[in-house]
């Protein structure tokens, strides 16, 4: 997968927690757990998200069409 900035959601599992929270392909990730991801490479963002234990919650700030919103995902 090529490195892209801003961090952009490439795929969403239709049955997964991201889809249930309303995350869509093309959304830009702007925050993870309250921390800005400005200038962060995708590998760094993935590390932040993979460091959550099953059953814990990840808070994401997403930008879509110029509007920013927050979503919470429960790690399966």
Q: Is residue 25 part of a domain?
A: yes
Q: What share of residues in the chain are helix, strand, coil (percent, to 5)?
A: 20, 30, 50
How do beta strands 28-32 and 57-64 pair?
antiparallel
Extended beta strands in the chain, E state: 28-32, 35-36, 57-64, 67-74
**What are the pLDDT digits (tens) for 9-65?**
999 999 999 999 999 999 999 999 999 999 888 889 999 999 999 999 999 999 999
Q: How confident is the model at residue 66 (pLDDT cuts 50, 70, 90)?
A: very high
How many separate domains does the chain show? 1
* Residue 3: pLDDT band with limits 50, 70, 90: low
CATH number of the domain enclosing 67: 2.30.42.10
Q: Which domain holds residue 42?
A: 17-74
Could you tell me the pTM of the whole model?
0.86
């Amino acid at each position: 997968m090529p490195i892209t900035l801003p961090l952009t959601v490439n795929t969403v599992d239709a049955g997964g927690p991201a889809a249930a929270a309303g995350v869509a392909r093309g959304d830009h990730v702007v925050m993870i757990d309250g921390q800005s991801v400005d200038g962060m490479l995708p590998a760094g963002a993935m590390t932040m998200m993979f460091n959550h234990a099953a059953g814990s919650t990840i808070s994401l700030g997403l930008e879509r069409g110029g509007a920013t919103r927050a979503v919470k995902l429960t790690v399966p």
